[in-house]
Amino acid sequence: MASRALTSLALSAVTLLAGCSAFRSYDSELQETNQQLSAGNVDAALTLLEKNNRREDKDLLYYFEKGELLRAKGDLVGSQTAWKSADKVVGAWEDSVKFDTDKYLSQFGSFLVNDKVRRYEGYDYEKVMLTTQMALNLLAVNDFDGARTEIKKTHEREAVIAELRDKEYLKREDEAEKQGVKTEYKDLKGYPVESLDAPDVVNLKNSYQSAFSHYLAGFVYEALGEKDLAAPGYRKAAELRPNTPLLEQALLNLDKPTGKTEESDILIVVQSGLAPARDSIRIPLPLPISGNLVITPLSFPVIKPDNATATFTQIGVDGQQQNLTQLNSTTAMSRRALRDDMPGIILRTTVRAITRGVAQKQLNDVNPLAGLALGITSTVMEGADTRTWRTLPDATQVVRLRLKQGEHQVSLPNALGGSQVMVKVDQRFQVITLRVVGNQVFTSGIAVHVTPPRAHSQAVASLQQP
């Protein structure tokens, strides 16, 4: 009778944990959502998002994704509202970090809680890109003053992150020494180490500072006549992405006289693709459990790039091909974030596995069925955290031009449906943003209108802001 009760208890625990919302397959959910987005069915994508987030207490990722989907739809007001909710969550995180950094680090450093059941607080690059995307929304309606506020917030957020990560690194090194964990990600046999050691990843200064964010800051400050603030923005962008002529030229042009009054300074921003997914793979590691080395499969996250959108390096402006300069790669930033996080992930995963193994052996000695229940439950609970902001654009490219005021035509490559965008230039400084997913081209704002090259073309979703 007791045996049946324990077996029933074990199965009940497994069933309960398997159905827990904390173990949702976020990657699968967003694959479906992004398939609808790639097909131009933004409303269907939004419906899926709502269906998968029915709880009244919405999490940070819900607001991240909803803001980007509404932006694709052309609903800038709704997008900004969703992202303001996300920004409040991130702001609360900043306050907790600044108020008591040690307490925050001690909570995050807990070894017995699996990463995927923790409250999602966003990766550093997501927190910074949030305010950058909010600035782009405001620039789509020529609100440079509002964009300046978001840019200032971006700089302040970077400073908080930088200070926190310095302290976290020191604490992690100390804990690793105490726990006797010396494993590095390069020691994980079967792990795609080359993806974290790729030149575009290693050459990044960190995972959260974007050359695009700082270049955009320089452009906004320059548009507002604050050249003393524009220079540091351009300079930082050049530092983050050295040997980039566009960035070097921006600094030189600050000292040049203003051009003809009938011409405008136009920044065309092309954001393409989708942020990479995170997957979980199992790697066997020998762990010291109760005096023995036990080969134990442990789960670690890996980055899976989204390659559904064709790469391109040029767009047409009034029939002339213009080269694009890439200033940001979310895939590279995501990999850099994982590269920097892996020592902490390995430490927490290893200590948790050893603790669990010892507890299971002790239970087996007393009650094998209880030990079995713990083992099954542990198997269900294990797995790397695969949550991440999936609708975030991957590549951000720009071209800066002097154009006469009036209407101009921007065309995209045939691989993207040959889409054409009509742009109305009527401000001294303007930012035009195009969003490309698959072969769909989305844009929004008061100065742009997208038209398909052929009446029957399904390659374009027209998203003019009313």
Cα 185 to Cα 208: distance, rounded to the nearest angstrom: 21
A 10 A CB-CB count for 145 gives 10
CA 373 to chain CA centroid, nearest Å: 37
Q: What is the pLDDT of residue 365?
A: 60
Cα 238 to Cα 325: distance, rounded to the nearest angstrom: 12
Q: What is the pLDDT of residue 368?
A: 62
pLDDT in tens, the chain (466 residues): 444 444 444 444 444 444 454 456 788 889 999 999 999 999 999 999 999 999 888 999 999 999 999 999 999 999 999 999 999 999 999 998 888 776 666 655 555 556 777 789 999 999 999 999 999 999 999 999 999 999 999 999 999 999 888 888 787 877 777 777 777 888 898 999 999 999 999 999 999 999 999 999 999 999 999 999 999 999 999 999 999 999 999 999 998 877 667 889 999 999 999 999 999 998 888 877 777 777 788 889 999 999 999 999 999 999 999 999 999 999 999 999 999 999 988 888 888 777 776 665 655 566 665 555 555 555 556 678 899 999 999 999 999 999 999 999 999 887 776 788 999 999 999 999 999 999 899 998 887 877 765 533 333 333 333 3
Stated pTM of the model: 0.87
Q: What is the pLDDT of residue 12?
A: 44
CB-side exposure of 156: number of CA atoms within 13 Å? 12
DSSP sequence for 255-311: TSPP--TTEEEEEEEEEES-PPEEEEEEEEEEEEETTEEEEEEEEEEEEE----SPP
Q: What is the pLDDT of residue 262?
A: 81
Q: Beta partners for 301?
A: 280
Q: What is the pLDDT of residue 204?
A: 96
Q: What are phi and psi of 329, to 5 degrees?
A: -135, 110
Determine the 3-state secondary structure of 78 from DSSP.
helix
Cα 404 to Cα 258: distance, rounded to the nearest angstrom: 14
CATH of region 23-451? 1.25.40.10
Residue type, 184: E
